[in-house]
Structure 1
Amino acid sequence: MGPTQNREAQQVNALLQIARAIDALNLNVNRVVIWLVLLATLVSAGNAVVRYAFNTSSNAWLELQWFMFSAIFLLGAAYTLQKNGHVRVDVLYSRYSPRLQIWVDLLGGLLFLIPTCIVIIVTTVPWVTNSIKIMENSPNPGGLPWWPIKLLLPVAIFLLLLQAISEVIKRIAMLTGHLPPTQYIPDEEAEILELKEVVEKKEHP
């Protein structure tokens, strides 16, 4: 490996360390989201029981339920992108070769996802700032403050932006041969490869 290739490898490895840090951040956020799913389910069930059993309700508990559903959706977006689990219009993409799929993801991230995240953050910050300034509350009697859930929007989109940057870094590393394109191997093939590795290790310890 020449000096130029060595320098390139060092640069890519430095970028991959940033990508791993972003992945770890959104993984930890997702662990919080998992608990929110449980809490939202319990609150939703409790609201239903109270409404039908005692013929009463509370705007605060209803809005808490909505807020947690919103938080789950917003905060889970970055982790979903990390796991390549977002919804695709998969008419042509699944027919592409793994390398072409990587190019589609790379260009999609650079040309669409990252710019969109930046636009959303820039346009929502003044809206959120005003909400915090007036300490915006629910117009419903007994409702909750609305500014915290509004604040969550640019925060969640910022996490999504970070994850988009991580995905772009990983796609570049895949195209340059510094990272194997493992996520583009179908689950069945990946399991077969793992089994082969286990067998080979046993045969050649």
Structure 2
Amino acid sequence: MPEFVKHYVRIVDSLNRRVGIFAMYLIFPMGLILLYSTMMRVAFGYPVNWVMEMSQFMLSAYYLLGGAYSMQIDAHVRMDLFYGMMKPRTRAITDSFTILFVIFYLVVLFWGGVSSTEYSITYNQKNYTAWAPVMWPIKMIMTLGIFLMLLQTIAQFFKDVAEARGKPIA
């Protein structure tokens, strides 16, 4: 593989590793938010109306920002009917082909995310609830997560092609 491809793979892997580790820790503030809500409702009889949306936003950030790291460490779900019986080179060839569909899907998803985020910023879109938070921050995080996943998928494509050629990228 050309040196710039290896460099791209190293940079994307490093970036997504850091973002993924950050995303792993989002579970703690989300848990604290839900604990706060429970305490306010049970102990004081005062329901907090922003908690459900905020925990949904946190969960969305958690799995969208962590998705690329999950792919990087091969922790994602895979239909393993025949895949497990294949030799590593055959797997790499199969992955090199099938990942093109994932890349296409992520490009379309990213395009929609950018459009939705742009709309949200332009019109100061708010959620239709009592709390009525602005939507652009979570839409921006979601679009960033999709973009990072796209970058990681392209890096994975390069790794698979290198593996199929018998010269894996370390």
Q: Same fold (TM over 0.5)?
A: yes
Letter aligned with residue 140 of structure 2:
L
Q: Could you tell me the percent identity over the aligned residues?
A: 30
Q: TM-score, normalised by structure 1?
A: 0.77
Paired residues, number: 170
Counterpart secondary structure, 2:80: coil
| 1:160 pairs with one of 146, 149, 152 | 149
Contact 1:59 / 1:143 at 8 angstroms: preserved in 2? no
Unpaired runs of at least 5, structure 2:
none
| 1:60 pairs with one of 27, 30, 50 | 50
| Structure-1 residue corresponding to 2:98 | 108
User: How far apart, in 2, do the equivalents of 1:180 and 1:73 lie?
Assistant: 27
Deviates more, 1:75-84 or 1:39-48: 39-48
Counterpart secondary structure, 1:177: coil
Counterpart secondary structure, 1:73: helix
| Structure-1 residue corresponding to 2:81 | 91
| Structure-2 residue corresponding to 1:19 | 9
Unpaired runs of at least 5, structure 1:
1-8, 182-205
| 1:49 pairs with one of 39, 43, 49 | 39
Contact 1:58 / 1:142 at 8 angstroms: preserved in 2? no
| Structure-1 residue corresponding to 2:119 | 130
1:40 equivalent to 2:40? Answer no
- Structure number with greater Rg is 1
| Structure-1 residue corresponding to 2:62 | 72
User: How far apart, in 2, do the equivalents of 1:139 and 1:125 lie?
Assistant: 21
Contact 2:64 / 2:142 at 8 angstroms: preserved in 1? yes
**Structure 1 residue 140, shift from structure 2 partner:** 1.7
Q: TM-score, normalised by structure 2?
A: 0.91
Contact 2:159 / 2:169 at 8 angstroms: preserved in 1? no
Determine which structure has the larger helix proportion and give its number.
1
